Amino acid sequence: MKTALRRTARASALLLVLFGLGLATAPAANAAAVPAAPEELELVAGADLSITVEWEAVPGATSYNIYRGTSSGGEGATPIGSTTELEYEDEGLSPTPIYFYQVTAVNASGESPRSPEDASKTPPPIPTGGDVPGVTVGNSKVYYCKDAVFGGFDWFQTLSGWFPSVLGSSGSESPGDRVADMAYADEGTMTFNNVVVPTAGLYTLAWRYAFQGGLFPGVNNRQMGLKVNGTVITSTQSFPITGSFDVYDLSALQVRLNAGVNSVQQFAVSDHGLSRVDQLIVTPATASSPSGPTNLRVTPGNAGATLTWNASTSGAPTSYRIYRGTKSDGEVNTPVGTVGGTTTTFTDTGLQNNKQYFYFVSAANAVGGSPNSNEVSVIPTATGGIPAAPGGVAAVGGNNSVRLTWNAVAGATGYSVFRGTAPGGEAATPVVTSATNSFTDGTAVNGTTYYYKVAATNAAGTSPSSAEVSATPSGGGGAVLLSQGQPATASSVENAGLPATAAVDGNTATRWSSAFSDPQWLQVDLGATHSVSRIVLNWQTAYGKAFQLQTSANGTTWTTIYSTTTGAGGVQDLAVTGSGRYVRLYGTQRATQYGYSLLEFQVFGV
């Protein structure tokens, strides 16, 4: 290391001399900057005495250095390894010490500051349990969470322990007052493999739980996932704060169980999982509560925000409840509004401009409530100016059609599309007004060149027009991008910041990511039936090894148009043949220990 520093010093001195003689020129002003420090450091301990270190990609980085120590701040000056990947497996460790890690990003300009420190022990506990029979109480079966089998263990340095964990609680109704702590492990699981019911049918699964703010102040709703017999039921079951680690409440959902033995798993969707989970109570259901609303969207306004969502598909909701907070999972327990069961929009007023708000929606009927929708956030803005002109406008000709897409505009509540048949000849009246940032012009005629401009609108007025684009439809095909900006839903999300809609927003800086389990799916509603000829999957590092691409006319009955068991990730540009209004990626085997994660899911056709 000292030799390298002396060599660098000599080279620097030589360059100064050459600059003075005019024999060398200074580096370009736009040379790449030293990258930022990596963030979101995660450690996964393996049973083979290894620890895998993972982090988020850093723009401009060409490689990463990994530093390790056995005391906080003791990682030292020399990296233990370097990689161009976003993870590093540190092997041959000992089960005795706690290991501390930091990561830096590197490029030709230098090395970044170090990431925040993270720590872990190895190996994690060996999972046991999960097969203890339930106890009959009335017409219910009660399963004690202390008897479950736990997985996804994470070492939490602040409390010097492995989580999920079993600990005592004076409010417990289980033997020995022992309960499960599902906090701090963002991949933690608690599984009962011996949930026995006499007949197949609808059952209510109720979790008895408790938590207070603890290390997550302001988090009023801790969300957890539910998997039954290997299928993810939801990743947004709501557990409102009880105010104390020893004051318990119930959170219930309805599921269909098979006659005989079933598997029920609660899994974490973030590191602020439930602090105390006492019992799983299984009871036959006599009527159905609603399924959860999906695809929640929000549009900012002046001191307000307008929310829209897709209706529950089962359970006949009689109302929807809207919850608001000022941080993720910080929605208060009392809804800020309630609308009827046939209404799928709500305008929230009296907000503070330039302040961020978070929302989710749930459905309810006389039987009970649904899982939550996805979470969305918004920053209201003051009325005082019209929105900016849309950018990124693109037009692609199809068969007697032209497909237009553009970038969403902050503060816009709608868009007007203007068309003409000569440059600058767009009519004064728009051919359509759209609530989304895409439009298919189905009145175009093959062989005619059409010119388009787009303007954004809100309560304050209409923006200047966008730059003009043109396209010529033809009968030769010309598949267009059908999926961008269309409604998208998924079987699950890793967290509220990685929604299904991020896979069809035309922005590779955002992504959808599922829960860490199989199977999972992502689907897009094209708005009408289309012939589909091409699908592009732009994977993040967590990709699908085995999956199918499917189409459907109704979102219920699916036809497979592509299937593989050897997916390699990256960008997969696939030629397909099919038709439908709905197109779905159905993953059956992940290539990594994480979920399925797509930067973009693009469907082309006519």
* pTM of structure: 0.59
- Judged against a pLDDT cut of 50, whether residue 1 lies above it is answered with no
- Mean pLDDT confidence for 135-146: 96
What is the C-alpha separation between 210 and 252, in angstroms, rounded?
14
Residue 191: per-residue pLDDT: 98
- Judged against a pLDDT cut of 90, whether residue 206 lies above it is answered with yes
Comparing 135-284 with 394-478, is the CATH topology the same?
A: no
Residue 31: per-residue pLDDT: 52
To the nearest 10°, report the CA torsion of 181, 186, 192, 193: -150
Task: List, for residues 121-134, the tens digit of each pLDDT value.
Answer: 999 999 999 999 99
CATH class of the domain whose range is 32-120: mainly beta
Question: What's the CATH code, domain 294-378?
Answer: 2.60.40.10
Residue among 400, 405, 451, 444 at smallest CA distance from 425: 451
3 confidence band (pLDDT: 50, 70, 90):
very low
Task: List, for residues 494-531, the tens digit of each pLDDT value.
Answer: 887 789 998 988 777 788 999 888 999 999 999 888 98
Multiple choice CATH, 394-478, 2.60.40.10, 2.70.150.10, 3.30.360.10, 2.40.10.220: 2.60.40.10
- Judged against a pLDDT cut of 60, whether residue 329 lies above it is answered with yes
The residue ranges of every structural domain in the chain are 1-30, 32-120, 135-284, 294-378, 394-478, 488-605
Task: List, for residues 262-295, the tens digit of each pLDDT value.
Answer: 999 999 998 889 999 999 999 999 888 999 999 9
Are the C-beta atoms of 29 and 109 separated by less than 8 Å?
A: no
Are the C-beta atoms of 66 and 54 separated by less than 8 Å?
A: no
Task: List, for residues 5-50, the tens digit of each pLDDT value.
Answer: 333 333 444 433 334 444 444 444 445 688 899 988 999 999 999 9
Question: What's the CATH code, domain 135-284?
Answer: 2.60.120.260
Percent of the chain with pLDDT over 70: 93
Higher pLDDT, 353 or 45: 45
Multiple choice CATH, 488-605, 3.90.1150.10, 2.60.40.10, 2.60.120.260, 2.30.40.10: 2.60.120.260
- Mean pLDDT confidence for 411-435: 90
